[in-house]
Structure 1
Amino acid sequence: MTIEKTTISDVAKYAKVSKSTVSQFLNERYEYMREETRERIEQAIEELNYQPNNVARSLKLKSTATIGVIVANILHSFSTQVIRAIEDTLNENDFSTIICNADDNPKKEKNYIETLLARQVDGLIVFPTSGNRELYKRLVDSNFPIVFVDRYVNGLNSDAVMLDNEKAIHMAIEHLLTNGYEDIAVLTTSIDTAVVPRVERVQGYKSAMKRFDLPIREAYIKSRDLPVLKKGIAELFKLEKPPQAIVSGNDLTLMEFLKYASEHDLKIGSDVGLVTIDEVNFMEIHNPPITTIAQPTFEMGEKAVELLLDKFDDSNQSEGAQIYRFDPSIIVRKSAEKAGVRI
């Protein structure tokens, strides 16, 4: 008869805390831990007869205590906010952070991966491009700790933290419909490289239109590289039936649309409705204030760190990759209101 060994996951579940909190307790990092939490963990360890793997943990602690973070495009407000959460959470756990910006360039991303590995970082948190699958596969197959954020790499046994992109688009479309808009277009950056959130947001747009019995007009879907996106927006408003409203796929496409609207005296909220994914600090002071589908950036960054730290516990054997989807929320302002129509 085999007796199953109590794991750190069991302790966390019993004490009703995260595994990273138990890890902090075991490493005597109590600075941000309430006395009640410490007592619950102590009780759980005693009652479950948990025996930490001190040798494995000491080997981990003997490491560089540094995590590499590679972001596909640091210009995204979402990326900056998540990185801040990652850095804060790692700092609380006594890890330093090296942050690298790949500029959506697989070659640059590959160079950063190799540089970080040469510096013997203990793990990677990556917003991946779509061009280094084999390199990531070698890392995952060798059990190197790695967690993906915002995107995942198909076919790899590695965890990922993402937004529920389809739900986000459905939320935006439903809000516009409630306010009297039906001819709705969507803007994203190019999907030619199959970047997961962009593809999922276009798919979400189509499924939302189908859900609400609205026609799917391919001319209303503009997925272009940023330098030529404005041309795509111009094509929308030259159509025989231009859209009444726009869903912007992220903060960068939003900026291109706002530039176009300003240059063509297109009044948001009266000439055209607007909802965007990603909360940016100027949304509230824009005229009119812009309705946003917000991502829980801090929670996503915190989760990415928790998943990575869990991989340092040899007793935590993963049964396969998991994609952790976070729910979006809507921040209603005035950019999607139509005269005479209110929620």
Structure 2
Amino acid sequence: MSRKMTIADVAEKAEVSKSTVSQFLNERFEYMGEETRTRVQNAISELEYQPNVVARSLKKKSTSTIGVIVANILHAYSTQVIRAIENVCNDNGFSTIICNADDNPEKEKKYIETLLAKQVDGLIVVPISGNLGTYDKLLKQNYPIVFLDRLVDGLNTDTVLLDNERASELAVSHLLKNGYKDIAIVTTSLVDNVTPRVERINGYKSTLKANGITVRPEFIRGMELNSFNQGLDALFSLDKKPDAIISGNDLTLMEILKYTFENDIEIGKDIGLITIDEVSFGPIHSPPLTTIAQPTFEMGKEVATILLKKIKDKKIKDPVIHRHEPSIIIRNSTKKEGVSSE
């Protein structure tokens, strides 16, 4: 087995001092000429020298790594935002460690502890209720954290999320203009008061009221995914059934599509359907699905940029809530017969 190369070997090969090699590795090029830089680079390549990343991190007091903890990586939103975060971090010389908490507070806490043990320079988190004390302690220590998608009562930190009430307003307004009157909203569990779910229902209610329509509590359903079949059965068994449904997110949408298929309910004819979150199959579904899209890549870019600024500038600044505007993509799942869609 060949001997592991050291800085001393590189210095000897390049005919420079060890401190010059160290400066090169830390990208401090101002005190060396182009010819010296070339010799060091060639020596590193020829010797296949691999720097000790851990030792360099301890010396720099930075690992150039951030942690990203998402509540549920199965959401299309999560994967799209992560992609944008990774792009920004890579462009700035940072690596990312992605963790999926599965909406489980204990798993989330374990990941927080693991990432801190790995000395990541900051965290981007889609927070789950149950770890308020852990986050509060880190924020009081001025540790760089940015929340994504969700607010946490009692915690004041920079947060990037959608204007969720506006998303529901777009959905309800579009359905009303297209002749639908009895509009239901279906989403995942409301037990933990998850910000997007609660805000989207609030936006649904306020838009109905603004249009003079009575809010019907039985048209509002928040359920665990494994209870959707029973919940949709109950919704479609009402004396006065909904003529349109707003799906609260992409996972909810999958359950609705499964249910309507199994029960011969024709979307766009028997029921209007609009979903919050654009999905890849939206344009090719039959009928194509009307969606409320989040600017996921812009949100991911912003949350990463905010965190990197916090890492570089440790000064305490007033946290800001950054809201992004949703947009509607109109397709045929909300086109009622006899009414021209807009």
TM-score, normalised relative to structure 2: 0.81
Matches within 5 A, 1:130-279: 130-279=129-278
Return the alpha-carbon distance in structure 1 between the equivalents of residues 316 and 233 of structure 2.
Answer: 52
Structure 1, unaligned stretches of length 5 or more? 1-26, 29-57
Shift of 1:62: 4.5
1:325 is matched with 323
Aligned letter for 2:181? E
Q: Is the 8 A contact 1:72 1:104 kept in 2?
A: yes
Alpha carbons 2:288, 2:333 under 8 Å: kept: yes
Alpha-carbon distance in structure 1 between the residues aligned to 2:103 and 2:187: 15
- For 2:72, the equivalent position in structure 1 comes to 73
> How far apart in 2 are the matches of 1:212 and 1:90?
45
Preserved CA contact (<8 Å) 2:142 2:314: no
- Would you say 1:124 and 2:123 are equivalent positions? yes
CA offsets, 1:68-110, max 9 Å, x none?
A: 0000000000111101111111111110000000000000000
Q: How far apart are 1:215 and its partner, in Å?
A: 1.0
Tell me by how many angstroms 1:157 deviates: 2.4
* Equivalent residue pairs, number: 287
Paired residues of 2:126 and 2:150 also in contact (CA < 8 A): yes
Residues 291-306 of structure 1 mapped to structure 2, 5 A cutoff:
291-306=290-305
Give me the TM-score of the superposition, normalised by structure 1.
Answer: 0.81
Bigger drift between 154-163 and 297-306 goes to: 154-163
- Verify the 8 A CA contact 2:122 2:311 in the aligned structure 1: no
Residue 309 of structure 1: aligned partner:
308
Larger radius of gyration: 2
Tell me what 1:4 maps to: none
Contact 1:145 1:311 in 2 (8 A): yes
Structure 1's consecutive aligned runs of 4 or more residues displaced over 4 angstroms after TM superposition are 58-62
**C-alpha deviation, 1:229, in angstroms:** 1.7
Amino acid at match of 1:247: I
Q: In the alignment, is the contact (CA less than 8 A) between 1:310 and 1:316 conserved in 2?
A: no
CA shift for structure 1 position 211:
1.0
Contact 2:142 2:316 in 1 (8 A): no
Partner Cα separation in structure 2 for residue 313 and residue 77 of structure 1: 30
Q: Which residue of 2 aligns with 1:43?
A: none
- Relative to structure 1, the CA distance from residue 63 to residue 76 in structure 2 (aligned partners, 3 Å threshold; closer, same or farther) is same
Percent of residue pairs bearing the same amino acid type: 60
Write the letter of the residue equivalent to 2:86: E
> Structure 1 residues 310 and 61 mapped into 2: Cα distance closer, same or farther (>3 Å)?
farther
> How many Å separate the matches in 1 of 2:288 and 2:315?
46
Q: In 2, are the aligned partners of 1:60 and 1:312 still within 8 Å (CA)?
A: no
